[in-house]
Amino acid sequence: MNLEAYQGLPSTVGGVGLDLVNAPMIRHWCEAMGDANPAYAAAPAAAIAPPAMLQAWTMGPSGRRAHFDALMRDLDAAGYASVVATDCEQQYARPLRIGERVLFDSDIESVSERKRTALGTGYFITTRTDVRAYDEAAGEKPDDATPVGSHRFRILKFTPAERRERPQAVDAGSLRPRPVVNRDNAGYWDGVAAGELRFQRCDDCATARFPWLPGCNACGSDRWHPEPASGDGEVYSKVVVHHPLPPAFGAKPYTVALVELAEGVRIVANVVGAEPEAVGIGMPVRLGFQRCDDDLLLPVFHPAGPDRLPPLRVPVTRTLIVAGAIASRDYQEVHHDAELARAKGAPDIFMNILTTNGLVGRYVTDWTGPDARVESIAIRLGVPAYPGDELQFSGEVSERGEGGRLVLAIRGTGRLGVHVSGTVKVRVKGASA
């Protein structure tokens, strides 16, 4: 297969939204996401579509898709028949309003080399779509269409991994060292996979301890229980690593800190999101998680912003998964047919990325209020969200700019670990830098 030949070719040319932007579809989307933003339910003359719904208006068999469909057929024929979305990056130039007609064009931006992942072996395919719209009722023509936004979408087209499949040998310098997991610290790494930083609490003297040990170093008791840290801490000491390291660590100097958590224990971890010289002793930091590769997730710390979003818990029901897929016009069987989902390597149906994107948008605007304007949402999926799970969303302001511009770091975790992480840029009336 000459997959490189597809890079740069049009994916869709002359795409036209199957429906005008309309109130019933917006209402269906909001009901599926649990989004009660009044800006989406206003009278038709004033109502706007949820920004995260951008891609839904481009779904369906419209426009010429010859190159993308040919790429999918080539991969299907080669045995890479399963597909899952991994990344979604959307930019919003202006809101879509009821009655507008959507136009779009997209390109195949890249096709990766063959990759081995936890799901299986396959290829990452990235497309970029530019979206425009015009108002037919106002007498506008297609040539009058103005930019609405763009989205970059990445999927993995793969062959599901078999249990007996062994990883291929990799260059030792391309991956970070693996942690040594044993019976004494396995609970800590289980916590990391679940999006928690767990320490131990002695059952007899209540002393907190970290790193994990078989017994209490205060009273000697071997009775204890794990507790999740709040995530709040401050830099107790730090070093900046300048020495050349393997490629997995990056080329730039990075900060390693001893962070004292609010619970009184200390942990060594990277501080990210700030230049090394900006990290000082006593600096407040907030827990985060960084995916180094498909199999390694590590706790890191970010400079703590003054604002933190309240948590949001969303039960993952079959109704949510199916309703979200329908609202986003994603009819992939893995999102509604459990038997076919299992045939393609999944244990059950799972939430599609557009529903996750919609929940992130809802989470942000629940906090900002209806007057805020979402400028972009960029998310990356981690573990799937299956029926019976519960997602807990958390977020904080990571950057403040002029004109009420905020950058929010968002994360959603479930029982299997981090389901989604990403960044949302928003402008909020009255917010100060």
Percentage with pLDDT > 70 across the chain? 94
Rounded mean pLDDT of 394-415?
89
Has residue 165 got a pLDDT over 80? no
Q: What is the pLDDT of residue 177?
A: 86
Is 99 exposed, middle or buried, given 0-12, 13-18 or 19+ CB atoms closer than 10 A?
Answer: middle
Q: Are 50 and 44 in contact (CB under 8 A)?
A: no
Give the 3-state secondary structure of residue 85.
strand
Q: Report the candidate in 230, 240, 290 with the shortest Cα–Cα distance to residue 260.
A: 230
Q: Are 24 and 315 in contact (CB under 8 A)?
A: no
What's the predicted TM-score (pTM) here? 0.70
b/e per residue, 353-389, with b = 16+ CB within 10 A? bbbbbbbbbbbbbbbbeeebbbbbbbbbbbbbbbbeb
Q: Report the candidate in 287, 261, 259 with the shortest Cα–Cα distance to residue 195.
A: 287
Q: What is the pLDDT of residue 171?
A: 53
Q: Report the candidate in 320, 258, 300 with the shortest Cα–Cα distance to residue 33.
A: 320
Q: What is the pLDDT of residue 368?
A: 92
The amino acid that residue 120 corresponds to is G
Q: Report the candidate in 221, 63, 94, 156 with the shortest Cα–Cα distance to residue 381.
A: 156
For β-strands 296-303 and 266-271, DSSP reports them as: parallel
**Higher local confidence (pLDDT), 157 or 292:** 157
Chain-centroid distance of CA 151 in Å reads: 14
Has residue 43 got a pLDDT over 90? no
Has residue 286 got a pLDDT over 50? yes
Rounded mean pLDDT of 25-44?
92
In the Cβ-directed half-sphere of 125, how many Cα atoms lie within 13 Å? 30
CA distances from 182 to 137, 188, 229 (A): 66, 10, 21
Which pLDDT tens digit goes with each residue over 351-389?
999 999 999 999 999 999 999 999 999 999 988 999 999
Is 410 exposed, middle or buried, given 0-12, 13-18 or 19+ CB atoms closer than 10 A?
Answer: buried
Distance CA 123, CA 120 (A): 10
Chain-centroid distance of CA 360 in Å reads: 9
Q: What is the pLDDT of residue 306?
A: 62
Rounded mean pLDDT of 283-301?
84
Domains of the chain: 3-165+315-368 (3.10.129.10), 173-304 (no CATH)
H-assigned helices in 100-244: 186-193
Residue located via tokens 């291929």:
168
Beta bridge partners of 40: none
Distance CA 384, CA 391 (A): 11
Which pLDDT tens digit goes with each residue over 217-250?
999 999 999 999 988 899 999 999 988 777 777 7
User: Where does residue 45 fall: left (phi above 0), alpha (psi -120 to 50 degrees), or beta otherwise?
Assistant: alpha
Q: What is the pLDDT of residue 289?
A: 83
Has residue 426 got a pLDDT over 80? yes
Q: What is the pLDDT of residue 415?
A: 78
Rounded mean pLDDT of 87-104?
96
Q: What is the pLDDT of residue 170?
A: 47
Instruction: Identify the weakest region by mean pLDDT among 9-13, 79-83, 165-169, 193-197.
Output: 165-169
Distance CA 50, CA 37 (A): 9
Other C-beta atoms lying within 10 Å of the C-beta of residue 151:
24
Distance CA 103, CA 108 (A): 17
Q: Report the candidate in 360, 363, 335 with the shortest Cα–Cα distance to residue 348.
A: 335
pLDDT band per the 50, 70, 90 thresholds, residue 273: confident
Q: Report the candidate in 166, 156, 226, 164 with the shortest Cα–Cα distance to residue 194.
A: 226
Rounded mean pLDDT of 96-122?
92
Rounded mean pLDDT of 153-181?
72
pLDDT band per the 50, 70, 90 thresholds, residue 272: confident
Other C-beta atoms lying within 10 Å of the C-beta of residue 418:
22
β-sheet with 208-209: strand ranges across: 208-209, 198-202, 224-228
The mean pLDDT value of the chain amounts to 89
Has residue 168 got a pLDDT over 80? no
Q: What is the pLDDT of residue 167?
A: 42
